[in-house]
Amino acid sequence: MKPTDLHRFLDDLRGMSADECLEVKTVLRLREGQVESSLVMREAEKAIKACPHCGCSSVAKAGSKDGRQRFKCKSKDCSKSFKH
Ligand SMILES: [Zn+2]
């Protein structure tokens, strides 16, 4: 959604009837769960971008163990592996 569309939508919301508000609320409640899980994923993605040992941001996926993704630091001085 474009920012201008969003503002128009928010303006429309202010003029909505109670029934329409309830409908929007239902949709929002459904979306809330989806948004939350995608935010959690985004945080997890952000977290894997840095090595916890040296803070180097170049890490590579290195298989998985116990169902968790393993990563390996690509820094020459560190090259430790870690999991998240
Ligand atoms: Zn490192």
pLDDT for 15: 92
| Residue 77 alpha carbon to ligand 1 centre in Å | 7
- What percentage of the chain has pLDDT greater than the value 70? 95
- Cα 39–Cα 31–Cα 16 angle in degrees, nearest 5: 130
pLDDT at 79 over 70: yes
| Residue 42 alpha carbon to ligand 1 centre in Å | 21
Summarised one tens digit per residue, pLDDT across range 9-39 is 899 989 999 999 999 999 999 999 888 888 8
| Residue 53 alpha carbon to ligand 1 centre in Å | 5
- State CA 47 to chain mean position distance: 11
pLDDT at 46 over 80: no
- Cα 12 to Cα 40: distance, rounded to the nearest angstrom: 30
Residue 80 tokens, joined: 């430790």
| Residue 84 alpha carbon to ligand 1 centre in Å | 14
Domain ranges, ordered by start, for the chain: 18-83
- The single residue listed with the structure tokens 């508000």 is 21
The pTM for the full model equals 0.43
